[in-house]
């Protein structure tokens, strides 16, 4: 009889453990909350160094002898704890006036359409409000003189580029900027901004992504 009780207890313990494990798996498998327009913590202003983009996208509209240096890649809503909302419903088509405003900011129609649908819709500002915010954000950042469009390649360490931006924009904190590379070349500069578009600290996961030592800054095309 004692042996029977022991077997029953072991069976109960086993099924109890399975049930607990299943419950934990069910909790961990819950889907992420749907992205909601206006629900985010700060913006990431992303400026792309156009000559680097054009090394691998020669047929893109921005690469036909436009002479661009930095161009607006996007103004991205972000979560402080890492990650970001995207493609927030409802995704509306840009009106002619909204589209015209966007084309004064983004280098191509293709990029404008993509950025509005994926990131702009999550601002909660509406299309024209988002374009105005992007315009204000770009206008708030002074491009360092050494990083204006030029005709020869230059070489800097990533930290040098960050320092140049901070010297040209004293309000950017040390943890408020990230330099992004594509292989050995400068690709983007990302500046963190609050919802009021004032400079601020970056959230989790936003950091410089470049090799150590000098990186190449290709000349304008």
58 CB contacts (<8 Å, ≥6 apart)?
A: none
What pTM was computed for the model? 0.84
Strands 154-157 and 185-193: unpaired
42-217 to CATH, choices 3.40.50.300, 3.90.730.10, 2.40.33.10, 3.40.1280.10: 3.90.730.10
Q: Does residue 4 come out as left (phi exceeding 0), alpha (psi in the -120 to 50 range) or beta? A: alpha
Instruction: Quote the CA–CA distance of 73 and 44 in Å, as a whole number.
Output: 10
As given in the structure block, the two tokens for residue 171 are: 């309000």
124 neighbors 37 (Cβ within 8 angstroms): yes
Omega cis (within 30) before 90: yes
pLDDT computed for residue 65 by the predictor: 83
**pLDDT one digit per residue (tens) for the chain, 221 residues:** 444 344 334 334 444 444 444 343 333 333 346 899 999 999 999 999 999 999 999 999 999 888 999 999 999 999 999 999 999 999 999 999 999 999 999 999 999 999 999 999 999 999 999 999 999 999 999 999 999 999 999 999 999 999 999 999 999 999 999 999 999 999 999 999 999 999 999 999 999 999 999 999 999 87
* Contact between residue 47 and residue 188 where contact means Cβ atoms under 8 Å apart: yes
pLDDT recorded at residue 27: 36
């Amino acid at each position: 009889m004692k042996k029977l009780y022991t077997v029953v207890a072991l069976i109960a313990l086993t099924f109890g453990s399975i049930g607990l494990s299943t419950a934990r798996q069910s909790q961990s498998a819950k889907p992420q909350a749907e992205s909601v327009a206006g629900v985010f913590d700060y913006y990431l202003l992303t400026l792309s160094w156009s000559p680097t983009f054009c090394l691998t996208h020669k047929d893109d509209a921005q690469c036909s002898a436009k002479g661009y240096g930095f161009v607006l890649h996007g103004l991205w809503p972000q979560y402080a704890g890492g990650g970001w909302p995207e493609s927030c419903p409802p995704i509306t088509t840009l009106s002619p006036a909204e589209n015209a405003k966007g084309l004064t900011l983004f280098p191509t129609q293709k990029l404008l359409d993509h950025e509005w649908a994926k990131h702009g819709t999550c601002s909660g500002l509406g299309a024209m409000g988002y374009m105005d915010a992007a315009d204000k954000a770009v206008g708030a950042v002074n491009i360092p003189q050494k990083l204006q469009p030029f005709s020869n390649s230059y070489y800097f360490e990533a930290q040098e580029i960050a320092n140049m931006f901070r010297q040209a924009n004293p309000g950017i904190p040390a943890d408020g900027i990230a330099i992004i590379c594509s292989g050995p070349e400068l690709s983007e500069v990302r500046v963190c901004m609050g919802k009021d578009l004032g400079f601020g600290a970056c959230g989790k996961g936003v950091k410089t992504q470049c090799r150590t030592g000098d990186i190449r800054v290709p000349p304008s095309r």
